Structures are given as structure tokens and as C-alpha cells.
Amino acid sequence: MVNFKTYETAQGEAAISLAKAMAEVDATTDATMVAVVSAFDLSAIKAAAPNLGVWTQHLDPIDWGSNTGWLHPQTAMERGATGSIINHAEHKVNLDHVEKLLAQLPNDFPVCACAADIDEAKSLAALSPTFIAVEPPELIGGDISVTTADPGIVSGTADAVKAVNPNVRVLCGAGVKNGDDVARAIELGTEGVLLASGVTKANNPLSVLRNLISQI
């Protein structure tokens, strides 16, 4: 799961190119790729990579009407969104927001709720999102993967989430850069990773994407 954020190298035409690289890896390997993109780019990316999972970076549990600046789930889906992350460290919301959003969305629309620590992951797991991604904020965008810097939070989150709700799938992120990091994440009990700059800032994203899945 690659979060495009608002990196200049992952917006507009650059976002389309990156999504096409992800779609190529998705179609030619056993790995599942998901592009988490700017709402502005949803339609263009879905058109360019129709078989790729294209998610939005945030949604709001709102009705139609006077909601300036908010992101309506139905609009996102009509523009091609096939899932969403929520509660990223850079866009925090409260549990009530997450609960209302999940209630509003179709059952087959996946959501990955981000957690800063094990306690937050447990609280989110009780709401039954599709995924929970644990990402210690201090490691996001850094050079050391969470799987190296704090493996205990990865394995601890996996155990804690499954104890609360065995149907929730666990990811980890923050500092993930290569295949070693991904392999270690899986060894620690996750089913995949959520990352950003390791791919979005790469000189050769396709090469990095292939390296990420080289040991699974």
C-alpha cells in the first residue's frame, strides 16, 4: 500500500506514471498493490490503471449539503476510489469519526485505519475496519524501518488486534524501504506494509516496487 500523500513526485502526471508502475507489478506478481492517492487524482489514476486498487487518503462521514472542504464518500467512489485510509498520523480524527464513516460505507469498501501505537490499534480494531496499519509517527519518513527500530510494536499490534478482532488484517509502516523490511514485517505478524517516500521519492519506482516484494 503506497501513500502518495502530496509529494510533488506523486501528483498529476507523475501520479499516473507511478500508478502504472504499481499496476504492472500487481499484474505480474502475487503481490497486491494499492495506490493511496490525492482525491484530485482519483479519476485520472483509475482511468489509467483500471485494475489497480486506487484508494483515497481520507473520507468524512457527512451527508449531502453544506460541508465545505469535506470529502463525501459517495463522491470519492464515483471518482474511482475502491477504498480509503483514515486517521493517518498527518490527518488524525477521533474514534467517533471512524465509527460513523465505517457505518456509512458499503460493506465491500475496504478501509485501513492507521494507529500510532498498540492502544490506539486496539481501540480501532473494536470498530472492525478492514485493515489496521501501525505507524509510530516519529519514524514516518525516516531512514530506519519500524521493523528494525521497534519490532515489538509491530508484533504487539498484530497480537493485540487479532485478540480484539481476528478478522482485521494488520499492516505496518514508517521507514519501510526495501524487501528486507517487508519480509521482516510479515515475520512479525503483519500481512503487508503501508509506505510512502520509499517509493514516491525513488528515482526508479518500478525497481523499488519489485524489490519490496522480492522476498515474499
Q: Out of 90, 120, 135, 138, which one is annotated catalytic? A: 135
Tell me the per-residue pLDDT of 48-70, one tens digit each, with 9 for 90 and over. Answer: 999 999 999 999 999 999 999 99
Q: How far apart are CA 141 and CA 6, in angstroms?
A: 13
Tell me the per-residue pLDDT of 5-20, one tens digit each, with 9 for 90 and over. Answer: 999 999 999 999 999 9
Would the pTM count as exceeding 0.85? yes
Residue-wise burial string across 159-180, b where 16 or more C-beta atoms lie within 10 A, e elsewhere: ebbeebeeebbbbbbbbbbeeb
Task: Say yes or no: domain 2-185+192-204 is CATH 3.40.50.720.
Answer: no
3-state DSSP assignment of residue 36: strand
CB-based contact 84:61 (threshold 8 Å):
no
CB-based contact 200:7 (threshold 8 Å):
yes
Average pLDDT, stretch 65-87? 98
CB-based contact 132:102 (threshold 8 Å):
no
- Does the pLDDT at position 216 exceed 90? no
Average pLDDT, stretch 69-78? 98
Domain boundaries, the chain: 2-185+192-204
Q: Out of 8, 78, 88, 90, which one is annotated catalytic? A: 88
Looking at residue 142, its pLDDT comes to 84
Catalytic (active site) residue 135: yes
Looking at residue 71, its pLDDT comes to 98
Catalytic (active site) residue 88: yes
